[in-house]
Structure formats: C-alpha cells, structure tokens
Chain A
Amino acid sequence: MYGMPIDTLLFYLDFPFVRYAIVVGVLVSLCSSLLGVTLVLKRYSYIGDGLSHVAFGALAIAAVLKVTNNMLIILPATIAVAVLLLCTGKNARIKGDAAVAMVSVGALAIGYLLMNIFSTSANISGDVCTTLFGSTSILTLKLEEVILCIALSCVVLFCFVLFYNKIFSITFDENFARATGVNTALFNLLIAVIVATIIVLAMNLVGALLVSALVVFPALSAMRVFKSFFSVTVAAATISVICSLIGIVVAILAGTPVGSTIVAADIVAFGLFYLIGIARNGSN
C-alpha cells in the first residue's frame, strides 16, 4: 500500500482531516495572496506579521479567560488593531513601520507571558510552538472550523472581486481617489477588516510567525514577471494556491511541518520568478 508516493497520497486523502487541510489551505492562500499585492504595494508588507502576533496575544487571553470559542476574541481584537494600524495612516503620532513593530513584539511578549502565568496545559512550549509555527494545527481542524473558514473566505473573495477597481485606485493613488470623490476612509477600513480576517484564518495554516510569507511571497513573485495590476493579482493567486498544494502534499508525504513546507515552496517559486524576470528584461 505504501509502494508509490501517489498511493500514499491517495491513502491519506481518504481521511477527512487531510481533505479539510487541503480545502482550508487553498482558500487561505488564495485570499492572502490577493490582499498581499495591495499590502506590498502600499508598503505594508509587515502588517501580516504584526497582526498575527496580535492574534497570538488574543489567543493567549482567550485561553486565560477559558473562552470555549476563541474566535470570538481573536477576530475582533485583530480587526481592531488592523483598523488602528491601517486607517490612522499619516496622522498617527507613531508612524507605519514603527507602529507595526511595536504592536507586533508587544503582543507576542504579552501573549507568551500570559500563557506561562495562567497555563492550563502541561506542555506550554509545545502549545506555543504549535501556535507560532502551526506545526500540526491544520491537520487537526474540526468540521466547524473548516465551515467557518469557507464562509469567511467566500466573504473575502466576494468583497475583493466587487471592490477590485476601488482597491486598485486607492492602492495606486489614495490622494487622487480622495480628491475625485472616492470614500477612501471606508475602503481603507474594509481592507483592514479583510486583512485581519485573512491573517486569523492563515494562522491555522502556517502559524503566527509564518503568516507574512503567504501575504508577501506570491505578490513579490508575480511582480517580478507581470506588468499590469490585473495580471499580477491573478498570477499571485495562482502561485500561492499551487505552492500551498505542493507544500501540503510534500508535508504529508515527507512528514515535515505543514507551515514551513508551504513557505519553502513559496520561496522556491520566488526564486524561479526572479530568474524569469531577469531573463525577460535581459532579452528586451
């Protein structure tokens, strides 16, 4: 039965948790790469990292408060911080990258501290490691979590398609958009909420420390080669989904941690697109 990798894969596909992992993996990587293009171009590449640490901190608080459905705390907390970081913009006392760095390490430290002080589990470092690197959490998803993920992903995708042109116009030139009558505050708020939602979803997949990779790598790979916003967006989504599929399959076959294997696949893809970009520009 274990003769060929493909047999092993088919064997594993019989398990619902493997199918759940693949569904969630594809959806989360699709959503994160779409928003990733905007975030990278707006110079907010590190927001994913910051927000995922906030989500980690919120998770610790949820654990301390013994809330059964920890999403009830994680999602609102992360959205609130995202709105704070993305919507205050140029008027904030503490600017962009500094604010993200502050929130990011702060939440991480407090989260770890809380987990240690109010620990209910015997294996704290194991728990923390799982949350940070998502080592097995995607393979232990329950059906409700998968359904929640599908629902939230659909909302994110729907918003993105519906407001695609608005998002482009705000990303390219927020001042022009505002001067010509676009409600930029509203759409920045929408983007912040969507980003926070994706980050919280993606934490299940790759863990809090590696979320940024899903946001940043596909967008950067696509930008090496493609030249219009539309083609970059489509390419980033495609790259991201393919890398996640490869990552999950390899992780299952080789027994490696899912999150870091997906990120490794994204890095390889980036290298590939980087070379293609050089080759193209060289021949012009």
Chain B
Amino acid sequence: MNEIIPLIKCRQLTLGYGSKDLVRDLDYDVNVGDYLCIIGRNGSGKTTFLRGIAGLLKPKSGDIELCEGLKRSEIGYLPQMTLVQRDFPASVEEIVLSAFQGKFRLLPFYGRAQRERAMECMALTRTESLRKSCFRELSGGQKQRVLLARALCAADRLLLLDEPVTGLDPESTETMYRVINDLHKKGMTIVMVTHDVDSALDDATRVMNFDQISVKGR
C-alpha cells in the first residue's frame, strides 16, 4: 500500500447490547484497499463490530464515519444465515437480484444491466447453474455461495463478510477465498470476520485480534 486513505473511521466507538459492551472506546481505521481479517474467540465482539460498520447497530457512544464519499449502497454484506432463510421459497436468481434494491431506490423492476451483473456474480461463485433452483433445497455450501453472489452484486467498494466459510467443505472454502482474494486484487476493500485463522492470514493485509482488544479495553 503506497498511501493510507481511511475508508471507515471509528472514533471512541462503544458497541453492545443492553448493558453489555462488547467493543469499548475503539479507535480504528479501515483503509482503502485493506484486506482486513477480524479474529477472536466467540463473544469477543467481532460480529458486533461488523454489524456496527454495516450500520445495523447504533453506537452507544463514539461514531463510525464512512469516508471518501462511501455510500451504504456501495457496500456488500454477507451476514450469517438466519433461521427464516433456511426454508424460504425463493429462487437463487431472485435472491441475487435483490442486492440491487439499495442502489436503485426508485426502480420497481430489474433491467438487463442488473440481470447481466447478477449473472457475472453467480459465475464468480459458481452458482449460475443453480439460477432457477429453490434456495431452501440447496446444501449449506451452495446457500453460502449464493449469499456471497448477492454480496458481490451489492459491493462496489467495500465487502463485509461474516464468517463466510462456516460450514463449507474444503473445496468450497478454497473457492470462497479465491473469489475474495481476486476481488481484493481488483481494488475492493474487504473486512472479514473469521474463525479460520490459518487460511485467513495467508491473504489478509491486516489482522485485527479482538481477544487482545478486549483485554486492553477492560
């Protein structure tokens, strides 16, 4: 990295649920072009921090600033799968296309450009053959790749990943990492929460360890 330009600035950031603080007084910048891996044991606040960046959790104090004119609609997000989604009647294509809802606020239906972009993202995650399949009938790994395809469609500048390889077989895991790494090389900023420390560290340009942060913060 030649020049360090912050994309997200966290200042005096405190995040948590109820009376419990999981992140306290954190100062941290995610920079343009980072491949940031967030590691730490369960309950250390990794996912909470990611949800904060994603705008899903309001800071209790301090703030998270999107810099360089970054808009929410330029962020791709791969959340952990929810219970509702497991038996949801929807085709893969419908799910991937839903990524564009944030970008085109007034667009009631999808056009050719969006369909083509969706196809590209499905090709990248090897899900184009599943295009017409029903989401609830896919395997865990296939579901995860579909959600990655959706995240890619939404991501123009920043990609947030919450444990993207959980429950994947080794082959799918490798594909997942290769896709993410390729994107990073093309200039995408990546923030990934993961348990898979060894492989994560191969590609990452920065690592944030929540075990140490929480020790320091408390």
Contacts and interface: CB of A to CB of B under 8 A. Distances in A.
B16 to A, nearest CB: 14
B103 A181 contact: yes
A127 B11 CA distance: 62
A15 to B, nearest CB: 40
Contacts of A163: 108
A175 B85 CA distance: 12
8 contacts: A169-B98, A175-B51, A179-B79, A180-B72, A180-B75, A180-B103, A228-B91, A228-B132
B5 interface: no
Interface of B: 51, 54-56, 71-73, 75-77, 79, 82, 84-85, 88-91, 94-95, 97-99, 101-103, 105, 107-110, 132-134, 137, 150-151, 154, 160
A115 B200 CA distance: 67
B75 A179 contact: yes
A183 B103 CA distance: 11
The 6 A-B pairs at the shortest CB distance, nearest first, are namely A181-B102, A181-B73, A227-B134, A181-B72, A180-B102, A228-B91
Nearest to A168: B98
A173 B90 contact: no
Q: Is the interface of A mostly helix, strand, loop or mixed?
A: helix
Contacts, number: 100
Contacts of A230: 91, 94
B79 A232 contact: no
A178 interface: yes
Interface residues of A, number: 29
Interface string A178-198: 111111000000000000000
B131 to A, nearest CB: 11
A41 B84 CA distance: 7
Contact of B88 (A41, A178, A183): A41
A142 interface: no
A173 B101 contact: no
A186 to B, nearest CB: 10
A43 interface: yes
Contacts of A118: none
Contacts of B109: 165
A181 B154 CA distance: 10
A173 B82 contact: yes
B103 to A, nearest CB: 7
A11 interface: no
A163 B107 CA distance: 9
A41 B135 CA distance: 14
Contacts of B85: 172-173
A179 B84 contact: no
Contacts of A178: 54-56
B90 A168 contact: yes
Given A179-B77, A180-B73, 15 more contacts: A41-B89, A168-B94, A172-B88, A173-B79, A175-B56, A176-B79, A177-B101, A177-B102, A179-B56, A179-B79, A180-B76, A181-B71, A228-B89, A228-B90, A228-B134
